[in-house]
Amino acid sequence: MSTSILEDIFLKRSQQKKKTSPLNYKERLFVLTADKISYYDYDIEKGKRKGLKGSVDIDKIKCVETVVPEENCHSDKMFPFQIVYDEGPLYIFAKTADIRKQWIHKLKEVVRNNKDLAQKFHPCFWVDGQWLCCHQEVKQALGCRVIESKNVCRRISRKPLPPTPKEDEACVRQEKASRPLPPQPTPSPAPPPSSEKTVTAMYDYTPMNPQDLPLTNGEEYTILEMSDTNWWKARDRHGQEGYIPSNYVVEAGNELEKYEWFCKNMNRSQAENLLKKENKEGAYLVRDSSKAGKYTVSVFSKATGEAGGNCRHYNICTTQDGQFYLAEKHCFGTIPELIHYHQHNSAGMVSRLRHVAALEERHAPSTAGLGYGVWEIDPRHLTFLRELGNGQFGVVKHGKWQGKHDVAIKMIKEGSMSEDDFIEEAKVMMKLRHPHLVQLYGVSTKQRPIYIVTEFLSNGCLLSYLRETLKRPQPIQLLEMCKDVSEGMAYLESQQYIHRDLAARNCLVDDYGTIKVTDFGLSRYVLDDEYTSSAGTKFPVRWSPPEVLLYCKFSSKSDIWAFGVLMWEIYTLGKMPFERFNNTEIIDKLLSGYRLYRPQQANEKVYRIMQDCWREKAEDRPTFEVLVSYIQDLLYELQEDNSEIQTSWRFPEIL
């Protein structure tokens, strides 16, 4: 038996593995060793350890943190802490703050090298099917607070977490009463000075203005300045300096993004579309799995038994000592090594990995503007092509910038917009950059009409896409659409930016089927009372919560309400919300508690999300950050249920 590092008697809360299990507290002797934390029944009189009641393997632990004590709690429950592992949190109550500190410190030390350390946690208890901090009702829901300890920073974080939005008031209030302990000091190597940062280009970049530096896919560059998050000053290996789009490069160390088979931000439906379109035996790609931080290999094969062939998805698994595998017998230190092996050996997969999928179709992401510091666009550089539609501000056209870059151009009908205010705001909007927001490239304001130039999305508006293009979509596809929008909105929320007119008509679809949110904040510059006054005929009453209809109170929480309605539009394939009612009737109905019905395609869990968005009080609605994790969990569940996901090499043989 390994020697004990710490031993103490604590109060332990029952784990409520089922919603109905009783909540009780028992005194247990806790013993921490290098590989387990175990708890025993204890004979206090004789001072003797009795039977083992349970244990948690150290390498399964995802996080160790304090917990905010419940209000008016008994004195023996004032110093709780939590050990989070696969089965949820284990709550333990120490007798004093010092003892708790000592245990947390030790535990953090022993779990330091665990593979699955969490980046977020719930600072308050899980009670009766709900997290007290964020009111999420899924026990596995991603934490609502970022862990500030250093062992998180040392991990390679693929997607930077958005800044924590304002916490739930209740949570902040409780938090003040007992702040979590400051992070424990753990030695970590000092980061290299930022001037020494080396990056690798993932795409070619041709300068759009004289201050820019060209990029060649695969080459390394030294970063000299990062004061603008979207455009970094860099030096190439010949000593030439200039600005580069920061989303075209990847930091040395984030190896995967360098590989041509890696498709960041691609979901399962998009991977299937791409692979099926290509229709090549053994075409493959590696993508982010719906489970954060994990990866999935998607392969196309004609040997699946289905007519015309089909896709298989294999999760890349990790062993306890951090090796990667698709087939348990073949483990590798890195994912590229694993892919290299399976390029030559199918080893249980439906096909070996023969062709990187649709290479020629991969296009570079949009840049924040058309070159560093450029936001005024010379109209002589624009060529007008087809008319795309007609909106609140007039005609929108597809065009080219400098003859080669696709753009959408909104030609602002005179008298339809308060132009000066918008032009000021455009500088702020240009800095908003996210894969699920339609990028504003710039404006042409020296002539009339003025133009707003944005990223072009070939599949047009989401509402028409739902109504006309989508044919018998799978449940996963609909949820992926909701996820896209929620991620774009979570970014806006993190920037404290309110959309004010979120709806399917204000989302666009690109050629892969990715959804992006557009027209954020634009409604503030509309000069049309019918649109801006909540009593107007064009006001988005059907997407508005009570506080907007009654007091014009816009917030990220009113965006949340609109998001619920947008989910409803997605799940009804573009029906008009409250179809049979006029605006006055809708307001009456809403105020008396009436809500949109559950669309046929939406299951109970999906409908619960919509209902959460339509809680009467704004503060009771979730944040977008929380919604993203809800949706991610649901997507994961859906994929788990789906027999096509294989987690190890044995499954293909069974199927």
| Residues near ligand ADP, by CB under 6 A | 388-389, 391-393, 396, 408, 410, 438, 454-457, 460-461, 505, 508, 519
Q: Which is nearer to ligand ADP, 68 or 485 (CB)?
A: 485
Could you tell me how many residues of this chain bind Mg ion (CB under 5 A)? Answer: 2
Q: Which is nearer to ligand ADP, 461 or 613 (CB)?
A: 461
Q: Which does 244 bind (CB under 5 to 8 A by kind): ligand ADP, Mg ion, none?
A: none
Q: Which is nearer to Mg ion, 543 or 607 (CB)?
A: 543
CB of 391 to ligand ADP, least distance (A): 2
Contact 421, 529 (CB under 8 A): no
Three-state SS string over 60-110 comes to HCCEEEECCCCCCCCHHHCEEEEEEECCEEEEEEECCHHHHHHHHHHHHHH
- Given the DSSP bridges, would you call strands 249-251 and 645-646 parallel, antiparallel or unpaired? unpaired
Specify the residue for token string 């293909």: 652
Specify the residue for token string 């250093």: 150
604-613 vs 556-571: helix axis angle to the nearest 10?
Answer: 150
473 phi/psi in degrees, rounded to 5:
-70, 150
CB of 20 to ligand ADP, least distance (A): 49
Angle at 294 between CA 290 and CA 298, to 5 degrees: 70
Specify the residue for token string 């508006």: 461
Specify the residue for token string 């800044």: 163
Can residue 500 be called a binding residue for Mg ion (CB under 5 A)?
Answer: no
CB of 381 to ligand ADP, least distance (A): 18
Is 501 considered catalytic here? yes
Q: Which does 393 bind (CB under 5 to 8 A by kind): Mg ion, ligand ADP, none?
A: ligand ADP
Contact 311, 292 (CB under 8 A): no
CB of 501 to ligand ADP, least distance (A): 8
Can residue 519 be called a binding residue for Mg ion (CB under 5 A)?
Answer: yes
Q: Which does 442 bind (CB under 5 to 8 A by kind): Mg ion, ligand ADP, none?
A: none
Contact 310, 304 (CB under 8 A): yes
Give the DSSP letter of residue 438.
P
Q: Which is nearer to ligand ADP, 162 or 369 (CB)?
A: 369
Q: Which residue is nearest to Mg ion (CB)?
A: 519
CB of 528 to ligand ADP, least distance (A): 11
Binding residue for Mg ion, selected from 200, 366, 506, 523, defined by CB under 5 A: 506
Q: Which does 349 bind (CB under 5 to 8 A by kind): ligand ADP, Mg ion, none?
A: none
CB of 548 to Mg ion, least distance (A): 18
State how far the Cα of 468 lies from the Cα of 459, in Å rounded to an integer.
11
Q: Which is nearer to ligand ADP, 491 or 614 (CB)?
A: 491
Q: Which does 212 bind (CB under 5 to 8 A by kind): ligand ADP, Mg ion, none?
A: none
How far are the Cα atoms of 5, 82, 386, 459, 477 from residue 99, in angstroms, in the given order? 14, 14, 70, 60, 50
Q: Which is nearer to ligand ADP, 18 or 386 (CB)?
A: 386
Q: Which of 168, 212, 236, 501 is catalytic?
A: 501
Tokens of 125: 């208890």
State how far the Cα of 367 lies from the Cα of 371, in Å rounded to an integer.
8
Known catalytic residues? Answer: 501
Instruction: Write out the residues near Mg ion by the rule CB under 5 A.
Output: 506, 519
